[in-house]
Amino acid sequence: MIFNWFTYRKYPDFWKNYLKSFKQKQPKSIEETRFVVFDTETTGLSITTDRILSIGAISIAKNSIDVADSIEIYLKQDEFNTETVEIHGILKDGNLKKITENEAIKQFIEFLGNAVLVAHHTAFDIEMINAALKRMKLPKLKNKTIDTGILYKKLANKKDKLYNLDVLCDEFTIPKHDRHTASGDAFITALLFLKIISKLKKERTVHYSDLFRTSNNKGLI
Amino acid sequence: MKNTIAERIFDFLKDYPPFNLISKETLLEVSKRIEIQYFEKDQIIFNQNDTPHEHFYIIYEGAVRLYRFIDNEKHNLDICDEGDLFGLRPLIMQENYLMGAAANEETILYGIPISLFNGIILNYPKVSQFLIASFATNTRDPFSDKHKGKLFANVSSIQKIENSFAETQSAKYSKNPITCSIETSIKEASMIMTKHIINSIIVAKDYIPIGIITDKDIRTKIGTGIFSIFDPVSKIMSSPVVTFPEKITVAEAQIALLKHKVSHICITKDGTDKSELVGILAEHDLNILQTNNPMFLVREIKYAQDAETLKHIRTKASELTKGYLEQEIPIYFITKVITEINIAITKRIIRLAIKELGQDPPVAYAWLAMGSQGRSEQLLMTDQDNALVFENVDEDSYLQVKEYFLKFATLITQKLHIVGFEYCPANIMASNPKWCLSLKEWKEQFKDWVKHPTSDKILLSIIFFDFEYIFGDKELYNQMSESVFKYISKKQTFLGFLSKATLDNPPPLGFFKQFLVEQDGENKDHFDIKSRAIRPLVDAARIFSLHHSLKVNNTIARYEKLMEVESQNKDLFESCANAFKILLQFRTLQGLTNNDSGKFVDINNLSKSDRLKLKSCFKPIKNIQDSLKLRFNVSQIP
C-alpha cells in the first residue's frame, strides 16, 4: 500500500481506524463474512451537485440479517431539490433528527469497517459516498462490493435484462414496505441478497470469490 | 433514533401472540434486536439434540416442519406456518432441542433473543399464560413425558398468573364494624346506626356475629308497625348471617350476594359464623356500575311481573356478558354470573306460572335444568333443556298430579320462550310427558338407560346426567342423582358406551393441521366449534365425573375436581380445563359478534392469532380422548 505519510497523519481517527481494519486478515467464506447492505436517498442523480439525504445500512453475518447491527442516518444539507421530495419524502426541515454530512460519513464509516458492501446498483450509492469523502479531503471507500443487480444475473437464464429493485421484489415475493427510504430499501436488498445467494447455491457450488465476478464480459458499470 | 426496519418488524409481530400482549415500547425494543434468517426448502434450522440457539423463532413467511427421530425412524410431528412460534421451550428449559426443525418451503424466520425474552416472561403474566397454554397442550406429548410437573420449573412467574385475574382481586370491605348485643332495643340500635351513619348493624356476642339489621328491616318491620321500637333487635334481625373469610375476592363477593340474595356479608376470621367478626362487606363496597351489574339485574328479575320484562332484563345480561368478555374477565366467573341470572329468571317464571294457574302444586316437585344450563355453562341464549320431578304419589291421584305439572311446565316453557330461550327442538322439556315424571319413574328410567345402553338411550343419558337443581324440593333432586351413581357403579361398562359415543364426534383437525370444516349445507366451510371442540371436552369431563361419582356438573369444576381425585393425571385435566375455558370464551365472542349461538366459526375470517388459539386447544382433546379409550375399554364395546 502506498500512501503519503504526511497525508495519513492529517486523517481523522475514524479514517485511520478504517484503514487499519483492512490490515486484518479477511475471512474467505460467505458464512464468516460480515456484509453491510446499504442504500442512500439523495437530492438527485448528479454525483457532483446532488447531496445525500439519508443512509440506511444493515449487516448480514452467518446468513442472518441482524437488526441490532444496523444504522439509519439523516443528513443536514443546504442543497435541496423539491422535485425529488415526493420520491424519498424527506423534507428540508422535517422532524427527523439530522446530523451534518461529516458526522454522518464518520458514523457510516465506523459502522461499515472492513465489511463487504452490498447494494442494488452499487455504483451510484458508492460514488455518492465517495463524493462526500472527497469534500472531507478523504480518499475513496476501500471495501469490496457486491451489486445485487449483477449477482442476480449470475442465476441461470437471467443475463439479458437490467432489473430494478421493484421487479426483483415481485419475483422474490419480498413485500415492498418502506420503498424509497434508505433503510427500507437496504432491508429489502438484504432479503434479496439472502434469497439470491440461496438460489445460486441450489443451482451450483458457490465460492466466496464468485460473488465478486461479473456475469459476462460486458460488465455493467 | 428512527429505526424504519425495527418499525416494520414491530408491525408484523404486534399481530401475533404472545407479542400482541406486550407494550408498544417493549415490543419495539424487541424488534430492534431481531435476527432475520432465510431458509431454502428442506434446509435444516436445527437438529434434534442440538444445543439450543440464542434465539427462538417466529415464522415470518413460509412453513417449518418439526420432526423427531425415534429408533432411527423419522416422525413428522407438526407443520408450523406464518406467525407460529417454535424452538422456545428448550431455551426456557435450558436443554437440547427435543425435535429437529427444517424449512418445509422457502422460509423467512425472525429470531428473537431469549436473553431479552426472559425478562418479558417475568414482567408480563399474560405472556407466560399464553406460553403455558401453548406448552400445556404439549405436556402430554408422548415424547416429553419426563417433563411432567417440572415444565417451567425455572420460571417463577407462573405462580403469579392465577392471581392476576380480576376475579381474584380481593374485595374491599369495612373493618371493625359497629355491633350491638342481642338484648339491645331496636330504638337503641337505630340511634347507633344514625349516629355512625351506617345502613346496617351487626348483632354479636363476644364478637361472634349472630344476626344483622339493615335499614330495610326497620322500614319493613318497624315502619309498618309489626314490631315496636322497644322490642329487642333479635325480633327483627336476619339470622344467621352470610359469612366469608377475610380473603374474599370480588368475584366471590358478587356471587355470594347474588346467591344468598343479601345486601351484606359478614367477614369473619375463619369464614364461619362461629368465629370472630372482622368486617362487613356491603353491596356498594363492590363499587360497580349500578344499572349494569348482576345484582341489580337479579333484583329487577325478582320484581318482574311478566315474561316481557324478563326478556328485557336478559338482553341487558347479554350486554353484560359482552362487557365482561371485552374486559377479559375470566370465563369461569362470567358463566357463574350469567348462570345465576338465568336461574333467577327461571325461578321468577315458575313463581309467575304458579300465580297464573291460581293453584299451588299438589305435591313436592323440583324443576331441573339439563345440558349447558345444567352445567352452568350457558352464556348465550341457547335452547331450553329442562325436566321436572315430582314426589311419588299413589296410582289414584297420579293422573291428576301429572296433569297439573304438565300444564304448569307448559306455561313455564312458554314464558321461557318469550324471554328468549328457544324451545328445545328435540322436545327435551318438562312440558313433554316423557320428561315430567315422578321420582320412582325417573329412577326406573335411569336404570334402564344404564342397563341397556342403546344409541338413543346413550344420547339421552348424556343430556340428562348433567341435570341441575333449579327450584322446588332439593331432596328429590338429591335422590335422583344418587340413583344415577348407584346404577353406574354397578355397571361400569356403561361408561365405555358413553366414551365410544363421544369418540364418534368428528375430530377438530385433519392431516397437516387443517381445520376440518363442514362439507355441505348452509354451514359449508364453517368449523363446528361446538361439536368438534367443546363437546368432546364436556363429554370426557362427564364420563370421568360419573366414574368417580362426583356431584359436579360444570365442566371446569369437574376438571378441577378430577385434578384432585386423580392427581397422577393432573396435567391432563388441567390442560383440558384451560382448553375448555378458551373455547367457551371463543364461542361466546363469536356468538355475540354474529348474533347467533356461536356454534359455527368461519375459519377464513379468523385472525391468525385466533386460529392459533383454537389450534392450541386441540391437543388436550386428543389426549383426553386417548385416555377415555384406554380407561373404559372402548375397544371392547360392540
Q: What is the CATH number of the domain that holds A40?
A: 3.30.420.10
Backbone angles phi, psi at A129, to 5 degrees: -65, -45
Q: Both B483 and B564 in a single domain?
A: no
Q: What pLDDT is stored for residue B136 in this prediction? A: 45
Nearest Cβ partner for B32 among A67, A173, A187: A67
Taking CA atoms, what residue in B is nearest to A185? B5
**Which residues of chain A neighbour B31 with C-beta distances below 8 Å?**
67
Q: Which of B4, B53, B112 to mutate to test the interface with A (most CBs of A within 10 A)?
A: B4
CA neighbor of A172 nearest in space, from B40, B363, B238: B40
Is residue B158 in a domain?
yes
Q: What pLDDT is stored for residue B171 in this prediction? A: 64
Q: Taking CB atoms and an 8 Å limit, are B5 and A198 in contact across chains?
A: no
| B354 has pLDDT over 90 | yes
Is residue B36 in a domain?
yes
Whether A150 has its CB under 8 Å from any CB of chain B: the answer is no
Question: What does the alpha-carbon distance between residue B602 and residue B604 come to, in Å, rounded to a whole number?
Answer: 6
Q: Both B454 and B381 in a single domain?
A: yes
Nearest Cβ partner for A184 among B4, B34, B38: B4
Q: Both B465 and B324 in a single domain?
A: yes
For residue A54, what is its C-alpha cell?
A: 439519508
| B509 has pLDDT over 50 | yes
Q: Both B264 and B305 in a single domain?
A: no
pLDDT-based confidence at A178, cuts 50/70/90? Answer: confident
For residue B49, what are the domain limits? 4-164
Q: Both B582 and B439 in a single domain?
A: no
Residue B352 carries which side chain, given as an amino acid letter?
A: L
Whether A67 has its CB under 8 Å from any CB of chain B: the answer is yes
Name the residue with cell 315430582. Answer: B390
| A191-211 tens-digit pLDDT | 999 999 888 888 877 788 888
Is residue B544 in a domain?
yes
* CA count, 13 A, side-chain hemisphere, B365: 24
| B140-156 tens-digit pLDDT | 333 333 333 333 332 33
Higher-confidence position of B285 and B28: B28
Strands B55-61 and B107-113: antiparallel
Report DSSP letters for B474-502, one per residue: HHHHHHHHHHHHHHHHH-THHHHHHHHHH
**What is the domain-level CATH number for residue B18?**
2.60.120.10
CA neighbor of B497 nearest in space, from B443, B552, B548, B457: B457
For residue A82, what is its C-alpha cell?
A: 423539491
Whether A194 has its CB under 8 Å from any CB of chain B: the answer is yes
Q: Both B532 and B623 in a single domain?
A: yes
Q: Count CB-CB contacts under 10 A for residue B588.
A: 24
CA A67 to chain B, closest CA, distance in angstroms equals: 5
Question: What does the alpha-carbon distance between residue B419 and residue B413 come to, in Å, rounded to a whole number?
Answer: 10
Q: Both B499 and B587 in a single domain?
A: yes
pLDDT-based confidence at B392, cuts 50/70/90? Answer: very high
Residue B582 carries which side chain, given as an amino acid letter?
A: I
Determine the average pLDDT of the residues in B482-507: 86
Number of CB pairs < 8 Å for A and B? Answer: 68
N-terminal to C-terminal alpha carbon distance within chain B: 71
Q: What pLDDT is stored for residue B528 in this prediction? A: 82
Average predicted confidence (pLDDT) for chain A: 84
Q: Both B368 and B487 in a single domain?
A: yes
Taking CA atoms, what residue in B is nearest to A194? B38
Nearest Cβ partner for B2 among A66, A96, A201: A96
For residue B424, what is its C-alpha cell?
A: 328445545
Range with the poorest average pLDDT among A98-112, B24-38, B80-94, B343-357: B80-94
Nearest Cβ partner for B32 among A64, A68, A177: A68
**Which residues of chain B neighbour A155 with C-beta distances below 8 Å?**
none
Nearest Cβ partner for A64 among B3, B4, B37: B37
Q: Which of A40, A64, A90, A200 to mutate to test the interface with B (most CBs of B within 10 A)?
A: A64
Strands B468-472 and B436-438: unpaired
| B34-57 tens-digit pLDDT | 999 998 888 999 998 888 888 999
**Which residues of chain A neighbour B108 with C-beta distances below 8 Å?**
191
Q: Which of B3, B5, B7 to mutate to test the interface with A (most CBs of A within 10 A)?
A: B5
Q: Both B346 and B396 in a single domain?
A: yes
Is residue A166 in a domain?
yes
Higher-confidence position of A129 and B509: A129
For residue B614, what is its C-alpha cell?
A: 383454537
Q: Taking CB atoms and an 8 Å limit, are A184 and B8 in contact across chains?
A: yes
pLDDT-based confidence at B138, cuts 50/70/90? Answer: very low
Nearest Cβ partner for B8 among A63, A177, A190: A177
Taking CA atoms, what residue in B is nearest to A181? B4
Range with the poorest average pLDDT among B78-92, B108-122, B265-279, B475-489: B78-92
Q: What pLDDT is stored for residue B293 in this prediction? A: 66
CB B30 within 8 A of CB B19: yes
**Can you say whether residue B633 is alpha, beta or left, with left for phi > 0 and alpha for psi between -120 and 50 degrees?**
left
The number of domains in chain B is 4
CA neighbor of B545 nearest in space, from B462, B602, B478: B462
Among residues B164, B199, B233, which one ends one of the domains?
B164
Is residue A34 in a domain?
yes
**Can you say whether residue B595 is alpha, beta or left, with left for phi > 0 and alpha for psi between -120 and 50 degrees?**
left
Nearest Cβ partner for A67 among B2, B33, B106: B33
**What is the domain-level CATH number for residue B572?**
1.20.120
Is residue B169 in a domain?
no
Q: Taking CB atoms and an 8 Å limit, are A72 and B34 in contact across chains?
A: no
Determine the average pLDDT of the residues in A33-49: 91
Is residue A187 in a domain?
yes
Q: Count CB-CB contacts under 10 A for residue B331.
A: 22
For residue B9, what is its C-alpha cell?
A: 418488524
Q: What are the beta bridge partners of residue B174?
A: B280
CB B17 within 8 A of CB B130: yes
Is residue A79 in a domain?
yes
Is residue A171 in a domain?
yes
Q: Both B561 and B604 in a single domain?
A: yes
Nearest Cβ partner for B1 among A64, A72, A199: A72
Q: Which of B1, B11, B28, B35 to mutate to test the interface with A (most CBs of A within 10 A)?
A: B35
Residue B266 carries which side chain, given as an amino acid letter?
A: C
Q: How far is CA B462 from the centre of its chain?
A: 19
Q: Both B135 and B109 in a single domain?
A: yes
Q: What pLDDT is stored for residue B517 in this prediction? A: 62
Determine whether A2 is exposed, middle or buried from the number of CB atoms within 10 Å of its CB (0-12, 13-18, 19+): exposed
Among residues B240, B267, B286, which one ends one of the domains?
B286
| A57 has pLDDT over 90 | yes
Is residue A157 in a domain?
yes
Q: Taking CB atoms and an 8 Å limit, are A181 and B4 in contact across chains?
A: yes
The residues, ordered by sequence, that sit 6+ positions from B395 with a Cβ below 8 Å of its Cβ are none
ipTM confidence: 0.83
> What order of strands is seen across the sheet that includes strand B44-46?
B44-46, B100-103, B63-70, B73-81
CA neighbor of A93 nearest in space, from A74, A71, A73: A74
Q: Both B388 and B479 in a single domain?
A: yes
**Which residues of chain B neighbour A56 with C-beta distances below 8 Å?**
4-5
Among residues B286, B311, B344, which one ends one of the domains?
B286
CA neighbor of B237 nearest in space, from B253, B218, B224: B218
Please, where are the H alpha helices in chain A? 5-10, 13-21, 85-88, 101-112, 122-135, 148-153, 165-171, 182-203
CA separation (Å) from B200 to B186, B218, B238, B270? Answer: 12, 10, 11, 22
Taking CA atoms, what residue in A is nearest to B34? A67
Name the residue with cell 322439556. Answer: B429
| B82-112 tens-digit pLDDT | 888 888 877 777 778 888 899 988 889 999 9
Average predicted confidence (pLDDT) for chain B: 81
Is residue A199 in a domain?
yes
For residue A69, what are the domain limits? 30-203
Whether B54 has its CB under 8 Å from any CB of chain A: the answer is no
Q: Count CB-CB contacts under 10 A for residue B445.
A: 19
Please, where are the H alpha helices in B423-534? 439-451, 455-464, 474-490, 493-503, 529
Q: What pLDDT is stored for residue B157 in this prediction? A: 30
CA B17 to chain A, closest CA, distance in angstroms equals: 21
The number of domains in chain A is 1
Question: Hey, which of B194-198, B367-371, B391-395 has the most confident mean pLDDT?
Answer: B391-395
